[in-house]
Amino acid sequence: MQHAMFRRVAAGGAVAALTFAGVGAATMSPAYAASSKVSVVHGIPDTPVDVYVNGKKTLDNFKPGDVAGPLTLPEGEYDIALTKPGEAVDKAILKVDDAEVPGGANISLAAHLSADGKPQITPFVNDVSKVGAGKARLIVRHTAAAPAVDVRAGGKPVFEGLTNPKEAKADVAAGTVKADVVLAGTDTVAIGPADLNLKEGTATIVYAIGSAEAKNLDLVAQTISGLHSAPGGVPSGTGGQAGTGVDTWWYVLAGAGVLLLVGGGARVATARAGRR
């Protein structure tokens, strides 16, 4: 389904990245079982737009660097068009017809520049599975007119050779990392460094946007929360002073009591029987 969507987008020649984020099954209400959550990310510099979905204006004067949504859209096919603010939908600067929105997914539609600088729309399916306790998910998407890049955290490459319009992701320890983007295999910094606060139990999606040639490379971030897990346990005592229930000696005592009672009773009974 994801592939079908990509093909359609490619056919439409769109250069914007819109993200449709699907709701996790656990948090979805039954009424929307076949719906998806869809976010829209604007990654084309200097180009505010109006966004039309199926001919209806859905976002007015949507600015570069902004993230809209999530919208809850029933499963189905959608026509998406971007126009200059105030212009009619038939003068769209970017258009995707019959973009397929699968059911129960979390999707981001990114409006962005292709590697060679043309506007296009790329749909990404967001990984909204739970992260482990203490962890955060980092997803990086190359949606900039730039060559392959490496993403570094604390100076060390975490994702290497990422190309437009691909993503890389990892679940990492929650916390703040100093991240930058360098040209693949080099130390030439293209974006950053920037402090990334990766909040526990969330997915932080970072889009590299803009154009290397125009020197307006930048980052846009989208956060999806509610992906946390509970700790595996709460170990909070090793002393045994507060122990309830009974120890081994209790069973010995109770067992001895039963034996004495039954044994004694039997002897009394046999003695009485003998006298008769």
Using an 8 Å Cβ cutoff, are 162 and 135 in contact?
no
Using an 8 Å Cβ cutoff, are 176 and 195 in contact?
yes
Using an 8 Å Cβ cutoff, are 20 and 88 in contact?
no
Which of the residues 55 through 114 are near other proteins (CB under 8 A)? Answer: 57-62, 65-69, 71
Task: Select the residue interacting with other proteins from 196, 208, 212, 217 (CB under 8 A).
Answer: 196
Site string for other proteins, 217-256 (x = CB under 8 A): --xxxxx--x-xxxxxxxxxxxxxxxxxxx---x--xx-x
Q: What is the nearest approach in angstroms of other proteins to the Cβ of residue 34?
A: 19
Query: Exposure of 18 by Cβ count < 10 A (0-12 exposed, 13-18 middle, 19+ buried)?
Result: buried
Q: How far, in Å, CA of 218 to CA of 233, rounded?
A: 41
Q: What is the nearest approach in angstroms of other proteins to the Cβ of residue 23?
A: 12
172 binds other proteins (CB under 8 A): no
Using an 8 Å Cβ cutoff, are 220 and 41 in contact?
yes
Question: Measured from the CB atom, is 72 or 211 closer to other proteins?
Answer: 72
Question: Measured from the CB atom, is 3 or 249 closer to other proteins?
Answer: 249
Site string for other proteins, 145-164 (x = CB under 8 A): --------------------
Q: How far, in Å, CA of 276 to CA of 273, rounded?
A: 5
Q: What is the nearest approach in angstroms of other proteins to the Cβ of residue 82?
A: 13
Task: Select the residue interacting with other proteins from 15, 83, 207, 212 (CB under 8 A).
Answer: 207
Q: Residue count at the site for other proteins (CB under 8 A)?
A: 76
Question: Measured from the CB atom, is 90 or 241 closer to other proteins?
Answer: 241
Q: What is the nearest approach in angstroms of other proteins to the Cβ of residue 208?
A: 12
Q: Give CA angle at 42 (41, 48), nearest 5°.
A: 145
Which of the residues 255 through 274 are near other proteins (CB under 8 A)? Answer: 256-268, 271
Which of the residues 24 through 43 are near other proteins (CB under 8 A)? Answer: 41-42
Task: Select the residue interacting with other proteins from 204, 208, 212, 217 (CB under 8 A).
Answer: 204
**Could you check whether the bond before residue 48 is cis, i.e. omega within 30 degrees of 0?**
no
Question: Measured from the CB atom, is 9 or 191 closer to other proteins?
Answer: 191
Among residues 82, 78, 110, 96, the alpha carbon closest in space to that of 9 is found at 96
Q: How far, in Å, CA of 200 to CA of 133, rounded?
A: 8
CA distances from 97 to 38, 75, 123 (A): 16, 15, 13
**Could you check whether the bond before residue 102 is cis, i.e. omega within 30 degrees of 0?**
no
Q: What is the nearest approach in angstroms of other proteins to the Cβ of residue 272?
A: 8
Question: Measured from the CB atom, is 215 or 231 closer to other proteins?
Answer: 231
Q: What is the nearest approach in angstroms of other proteins to the Cβ of residue 270?
A: 9
